[in-house]
Amino acid sequence: MNEPMDTPERVLVRYPLFTVAVARIQACFDSFGTTAEPQCCPIVGESGSGKTTIISHFASLHPCVDHKCGVEIQVLLAKVPARPTVKSFAETLLYQLGDPLWSRGNTVSKSIRLRELFRRCRVRLLALDEFQHFVDARQASIPNEVADWLKEQVEETGVAIVVLGLHRCLEVLKQNEQLRRRFGATLRVGAFRWENKDDRTTYRAFLRAVQEQLPEYVMPRLADLDMAFRMHYASYGLIGYTMKIIRGAARIAHDHPRREITLRTLAQSFRQHVWIERLSDSNPFLESFAVDKAPPLKLPSETVCASPPYAHHRSVRLELHA
């Protein structure tokens, strides 16, 4: 049997955008069978902004039900594999829906079987995570083929679709006017920006909520301005890095008699989990870190490859103000 997860691994914060995203997905789910056309929604954001967590949480609210007559899977959550084709992707879905002959047949017969299984399993919402893999595929024609194929599935089954991925995944939707029309406004999740007052307040509330969910650990008040600034600097304001540092620190402190997390523990966790990716930046948890002299940061998505046109909105300028 699997060991139960430690508390830090189970921490889940329902920050405002999380709640908005879940409500938006719920609206898509509810539109199945009740509106002339199902609502579909793209959710995009950089790596570590919490997309998978949002959709996994939503799926957990609608678990599969094992009826005598078969399994009901109202939310079908699938991860688009690397280098997909329409055929291999249809196979993935067939497999998830329990088709023992998932690899049998050509794309057309697979799509027909898939639609039949959608009906039988009463799928209302198809959620596709890592949707950018369709854009990263080797053949240039894939985004277009996928867009056509998805449009067909929506039309034939009435299933609502939510796609989640990096910003570039929106390319797929641009390929097909009819598909694009079915998708509502893009929901963007991203790094909390320190220079934006609302973001800063939300990020501090996020840290407070994390700390409240870890009452067995002694630690400095993460939401205090100075600590929040250090956490933000260490994580770019991305939830993924924030949680990596806190969870790492909790693991280090786990064997401490008081389970105490200090600045030094956080510095060690940062060194182990994040610093390797940004050796030129100073460790913000060291006493010597000058909060008011910290050089500006760039998000990983701005430094790795060509930046999206809206990336300049997200650069993190650092000034310590409440």
Ligand X SMILES: Nc1ncnc2c1ncn2[C@@H]1O[C@H](COP(=O)(O)OP(=O)(O)OP(=O)(O)O)[C@@H](O)[C@H]1O
Smallest distance from the beta carbon of 78 to ligand X, in angstroms?
Answer: 14
Nearer to ligand X by C-beta: 117 or 135? Answer: 135
Among 11-19, 30-38, 83-91, 98-106, which window interacts with ligand X (CB under 6 A)?
Answer: 11-19
Residue 45 binds: one of ligand X, Mg ion, none (C-beta under 5 to 8 A by kind): ligand X
Task: Write down the least CB distance from residue 53 to Mg ion, Å.
Answer: 8
By C-beta, is 69 or 82 nearer to ligand X?
82
Q: How far apart are CA 143 and CA 130, in angstroms?
A: 13
With CB under 5 to 8 Å by kind, the binding choice for 12 among ligand X, Mg ion, none is ligand X
Site for ligand X (CB under 6 A): which residue of 146, 172, 223, 239? 239
Residue 239, contacted partner among Mg ion, ligand X, none, CB below 5-8 A by kind:
ligand X
SS (H, E, C) the chain: CCCCCCHHHHCCCCCHHHHHHHHHHHHHHHHCCCCCCCCEEEEECCCCCCHHHHHHHHHHHCCCEEECCEEECCEEEEECCCCCCHHHHHHHHHHHCCCCCCCCCCHHHHHHHHHHHHHHCCCCEEEEECHHHHCCCCCCCHHHHHHHHHHHHHHHHCCEEEEEECHHHHHHHHCCHHHHHHECCCEECCCCCCCCHHHHHHHHHHHHHHHHCCCCCECCCCCCHHHHHHHHHHHCCCHHHHHHHHHHHHHHHCCCCCCECCHHHHHHHHHHHCHHHCCCCCCCCCCCCCHHHCCCECCHHHHCCCCCCCHHHHCECCCCCC
Does 125 contact ligand X by CB under 6 A?
no
Q: How many CB atoms lie within 10 A of CB 176?
A: 19
Q: Indicate which single residue of 8, 17, 44, 49 sits in contact with ligand X (rule: CB under 6 A).
A: 49
Shortest separation between residue 14's beta carbon and ligand X, angstroms: 7
Alpha-carbon distance of 72 to 31, in angstroms, equals 18
With CB under 6 A, what is the number of residues at the site for ligand X? Answer: 15
8, 48, 237, 248: which one binds ligand X (CB under 6 A): 48
- Nearer to ligand X by Cβ, of 12 and 304: the residue is 12
Interaction partner, residue 11 (Mg ion, ligand X, none; CB < 5-8 Å by kind): ligand X
Nearest distance from residue 321's CB to ligand X, in Å?
A: 25
Among 7, 26, 52, 307, binds Mg ion (CB under 5 A): 52
Half-sphere exposure of 26 (CA within 13 A, CB side): 11
Write down the least CB distance from residue 167 to Mg ion, Å. Answer: 13
* Interatomic CA distance for residues 110 and 168, integer angstroms: 28
Give the interface segment with Mg ion, choosing from 46-54, 170-178, 210-218, 227-235 (CB under 5 A): 46-54
Name the binder of 283 from ligand X, Mg ion, none, CB < 5-8 A by kind. none
Query: Does 217 sit near ligand X (CB under 6 A)?
Result: no
Does 38 help bind ligand X (rule: CB under 6 A)?
no
Taking residue 210's Cβ as centre, other Cβ atoms within 10 Å add up to 22
Which of the stretches 45-53, 59-67, 88-96, 310-318 binds ligand X when contact is defined by CB under 6 A?
45-53
Residues that bind ligand X (CB under 6 A): 11-13, 18, 45, 47-53, 239-240, 243
Residues that bind Mg ion (CB under 5 A): 52
